[in-house]
Amino acid sequence: MNAVPPSASAEKPPFLEIRNVKKSFGGVRALKDVSLTIEAGKIYHLMGENGCGKSTLIKILSGAQKADEGEILIDGKPTGAVAGDLGAIGALGAGIETVYQDLSLLPNLSVAENVAFTEQLVASSGRLARRLDLATLHATARRALADVHLPTDRSFLTRRTDTLPLATRQLVAIARAIASDARLVIMDEPTTSLTRQEVENLIKVVARLQERGVAVLFVTHKLDECKQIGGRAVIMRDGMKVTELDVATHSKAKFSHWMTGREISETRYRTDPKLGDVLLKVEGLSKGVAFADATFELRRGEILGITGLLDSGRNELALALAGISPASHGTIRLDGKTIAPQSAAEAIGHGIGYVPEDRLTEGLFLEKPIQDNITLPILDRLKNAFGIISAGRARRTAEESVRDLQIVAPEVSAPVQSLSGGNQQRVLIGRWLTIDPRLLILHGPTVGVDVGSKDTIFRIIQRLADGGMSVIIISDDLPELLQNCDRILIMRQGRIISDDSAVYLNEDSIYRAMAGHTKETI
């Protein structure tokens, strides 16, 4: 199991070593004695279910939190602070850059400022009464942006980052790491919202980082990508490091087992579907340049997958069905009745529930209790004779959902942000189930959700369909679609190019259809 030749490490100490780090929050022990060595130019994948302690570990490494006990050594030397309190500037100064899921880009600042400001801040040790060196700022930004193959002209440098597409923003965040001469780049689920092509591009950038001796630590749920990238897997469970090994040497099932402590099958969840009559009939649905002439049917109790690249129009089609961004032409017939939902409220009235992809910004009120989040669409029904919301009924409805969807929560009055990603997602699904939808549209239902929670969410989806609900899943997680759907629509450049039963499809054939058989595929 010792893939690393001992000679090199014997002479030069590893870049980073953490020893016996412990951390508790109140009574909860988030990290129970974790040790980890990170060597220059190597790639690591930190894996584990939500709540296993990996986020805490990342926060300690990036200086955002302080460990209770333990040591952090950089280049074999202790970092001074006994309990490994690096501090944000300390961690950055040591060359540890963290690209969080939100990318930590400042939306209102320019690309150049986002990329190269940290460098100047580190140079001044965080003191702010210093001249901003614009020439250096732009020079550094240019150099780093060139490294990730982004434009380096003035108009790009001065563009506000919130005007950029997500994949570009991610590269900007990586360019920032390069600009500050990072020696370790930590990426927190970097591929969550990227299309496959963008993921390929990211992997290339990572390879270049590795060539210059930069270590990369991925925090990830996606085993396929880990295997594609290669490197070492560090698996955590319950605040402990379970094992560390080469990703190439073990099967996906084995990894799942280590992470969850139980066996999870990779098999199809969809078995023995009971399909009813046609519920939804979409004909010639179009909207500007986003999508055109979408025609398909959906039966009661059927699960339909829709996939395609980010610009394929799949998202826009979903939003049109949900009434959020109405279509311009074509008809939608629900239960034989033609509808043209112009708003989400209207779609809800027709019994169409839509669970958005980005549960953090589009769906949930994080600081509000679970109860309020779940009962939001049915406040009307919870009113008593005086028009006042009945707290008891709201509570009972929420408790029912929590039980039904196996949401792990202390009580329904707890804020949603105290839950793990998988449980937050279930709260969102629970909200839409309160309206008893005939059609439930799930957009990326397991984005950023760990293996164990995925399993639970898939079982819930199957149960709903068995109960006669029609479900549409929009996703680019192909295994997810293949495991759950009866049929899969593939979209490309605004058109549905394939409508086929899932059992006849596989990941490879779908991906080739999505990308349009071009040479650059895989």
> Which residues lie near other proteins (CB under 8 A)?
62, 64, 88-89, 92, 98, 100, 102, 104-109, 113, 117-118, 120-122, 124, 126-132, 134, 163, 288-289
> Judged by CB, which is closer to other proteins: 162, or 266?
162
Buried b / exposed e along 121-134 (16+ C-beta atoms within 10 A): bbeeeeeeeeeeee
> Judged by CB, which is closer to other proteins: 88, or 310?
88
**Cα 304 versus chain centre, distance:** 22
> Judged by CB, which is closer to other proteins: 102, or 246?
102
> Judged by CB, which is closer to other proteins: 127, or 519?
127
* Nearest approach, Cβ of residue 286 and other proteins (Å): 10
> Judged by CB, which is closer to other proteins: 171, or 352?
171
518: which residues sit within 8 A by CB, 6+ positions away? none
> Judged by CB, which is closer to other proteins: 91, or 427?
91
Please choose, from the candidates 413, 424, 416, the residue with its C-alpha nearest in 3D space to the C-alpha of residue 446.
424
Q: Residue 38 and residue 427: Cα distance in Å, rounded?
A: 37
> Judged by CB, which is closer to other proteins: 100, or 354?
100
* Nearest approach, Cβ of residue 113 and other proteins (Å): 6
Contact 174, 114 (CB under 8 A): no
> Judged by CB, which is closer to other proteins: 104, or 521?
104
Q: What is the dihedral of CA 14, 16, 20, 23, to 10 degrees?
A: -170
* Nearest approach, Cβ of residue 389 and other proteins (Å): 27
Q: Give the E-state strand segments of 309-356 in sequence order.
A: 329-334, 337-339, 352-355
451: which residues sit within 8 A by CB, 6+ positions away? 49, 221, 256, 259, 260, 264
- DSSP code for 363: I
The neighbour count for residue 202, using CB atoms within 10 Å, is: 21
* Nearest approach, Cβ of residue 481 and other proteins (Å): 30
* Nearest approach, Cβ of residue 181 and other proteins (Å): 15
Kind of pairing, strands 215-219 and 43-47? parallel
The residue with tokens 């490490």 is: 9
* Nearest approach, Cβ of residue 367 and other proteins (Å): 14
Triad 323, 326, 327: Cα angle to 5°:
130
Q: Which helix (H) or strand (E) holds 251?
A: none
* Nearest approach, Cβ of residue 185 and other proteins (Å): 15
> Judged by CB, which is closer to other proteins: 330, or 444?
330
Please choose, from the candidates 511, 407, 403, 397, the residue with its C-alpha nearest in 3D space to the C-alpha of residue 449.
407
* Nearest approach, Cβ of residue 80 and other proteins (Å): 17
Phi/psi at 390 (nearest 5 deg)? Answer: -80, 115
* Nearest approach, Cβ of residue 107 and other proteins (Å): 5
> Judged by CB, which is closer to other proteins: 162, or 466?
162
- DSSP code for 415: B
* Nearest approach, Cβ of residue 132 and other proteins (Å): 5
Q: What is the dihedral of CA 421, 426, 429, 435, to 10 degrees?
A: -140
Angle between helices 391-404 and 421-433 (to 10 degrees): 120
